[in-house]
Amino acid sequence: MGAGEYKVLKLIQEIIRAPEGSLILIEELEVSIHDAALRRLVPWLIQQAEDKNLQIIFSTHWPHIVEFSEQIAIRTLHATAQKVECINGFRPMALHRMSGNEADMRVVNVWVEDQLAKRIVQQVCTELGILPNVSISLFGAIDNAFSVGAVLELEGRHANKNMVITDGDRYPTEDDKKGQIQRALSGTGEALKKAQKDALRWFVQFEPLMPNGHRVNPERFLLEAARRTADAGQANPWINNFLEFVDANVFTDPDKSIVFNLHKHFGLSVENIEWFLIEAASKDAAWLHFTDSVRQKLRESAINLGLDLKEAA
């Protein structure tokens, strides 16, 4: 008999023999046991603990234990120079050190419309100090956002680990979103109606509002916020060049074509132009309101997942 087989049988024997209400300690649960067996063993341990009122405590360096985070209480031991701290849940960096997999650090999945929205989210995540923990994907046209939300709801994804961020210029109200969700998640029955209602929880949005309250798209908001930063003498010199060019020309689509025309005229990459605008806009007072809903949702997810936030965020 191999060491793993012997260990599993010994564990089963001891747990079956244990009197109701017993405390059972297991050191390094995963040693000599392969992943497939562990994935069957852990649910059995959970069931035995519930049936016999057992308290089962085990130490482990098995990264996939996080798959059972909603069924068991996970604690992470974190050593500092002065002491060893016990932290509720698990730290993504600790998981990354065990597995060596970069993906283990990225625990929040965010879907956005385009590269500009992705860079805005990256800026907010940098301000919060959680950029390494966030994975950002593009859904393309705004209508696709509601298909993503429908899938998240139907699959019962983790609410703290997934969100859909819209630009805020289209379908900004809750009623707007309800109508789009009903198209993406169609059918009859009470279960479906509940799913349509609950699917709203996946969505947050930017608030690209002008000082007069008029709602615009993010490109126009960023440009005007960058203008105010430039007027205050706090913007990169490139911003003044951008504003002079924009003010001197008339574009067929005065909002969506701004970045493209700046790219063609100045020979800078679209990425660089967007970062210049975001950097300047983030210094304007309106930036916090523009990103507030997204910021609050990311902060809430980070806290619930045990991520380290910047104190000033």
Within a domain: 39: yes
Q: Contact 128/313 with Cβ under 8 angstroms?
A: yes
Kindly state whether residues 177 and 300 are assigned to the same domain.
yes
User: Would you state the structure tokens that stand for residue 198, as one six-digit string?
Assistant: 């609950």
Query: What's residue 313's pLDDT?
Result: 46
Q: Domain boundary residue among 32, 50, 73?
A: 73
Residue 255 lies in a domain: yes
Q: Are residues 127 and 51 in the same domain?
A: no
Which H or E run includes 266? helix 258-266
Q: What's the pTM value of the predicted model, to 2 decimals? A: 0.74
pLDDT at 291 (0 to 100): 98
Check whether residue 299 and residue 196 sit in a common domain.
yes
* Each residue's pLDDT expressed in tens, for the chain with a length of 313 residues: 678 888 999 999 999 999 999 999 999 999 989 989 999 999 999 999 999 999 999 998 887 887 888 899 988 877 777 888 777 776 666 655 555 655 555 689 999 999 999 999 999 999 999 998 899 999 999 999 999 999 999 999 888 899 999 999 999 999 999 999 999 998 888 988 999 999 999 999 999 999 999 999 999 999 999 999 999 999 999 999 999 999 998 877 666 688 999 999 999 999 999 999 999 999 999 999 999 999 999 999 988 877 778 854 4
- Say if CB 275 and CB 119 are below 8 A apart: yes
Three-state SS at 234 = coil
Strand partners, 75: 88
Q: H helices of 18-162, where?
A: 35-52, 92-99, 115-128, 143-154
The CATH number assigned to the domain holding 199 equals 3.40.50
Strand partners, 202: none
Considering the domain architecture, whether residues 183 and 222 belong to the same structural domain is answered as no
Q: What's the DSSP call for residue 106?
A: -
Domain of 52 in residue numbering reads as 3-73
How many CA atoms within 13 Å lie on the side-chain side of 277?
26
Of the candidates 295, 16, 34, 31, the one whose C-alpha atom is nearest the C-alpha of residue 165 is 295
Task: Looking at the structure, tell me whether residues 298 and 174 fall in a common domain.
Answer: yes
Tokens 């130490």, residue located: 59
Last residue of a domain, one of 27, 55, 73: 73
Number of H helices, E strands in the chain: 12, 8
**Are the C-beta atoms of residues 142 and 166 closer than 8 Å to each other?**
yes
Helix (H, G, I), strand (E, B) or coil at 138: strand
Is residue 268 located within the same domain as residue 296? no
DSSP string covering 147-210, please? Answer: HHHHHHHHTT--TTTEEEEE-SSSS-SHHHHHHHHHHHS---SHHHHHHHHHGGGGEEE---B-
Q: Number of folded domains in the chain?
A: 3
> Residue 108: which H helix or E strand, with range?
strand 108-112
3-state SS assignment for residue 26 = strand
Question: Comparing C-alpha atoms, which of 312, 308, 275 is closest to residue 90?
Answer: 308
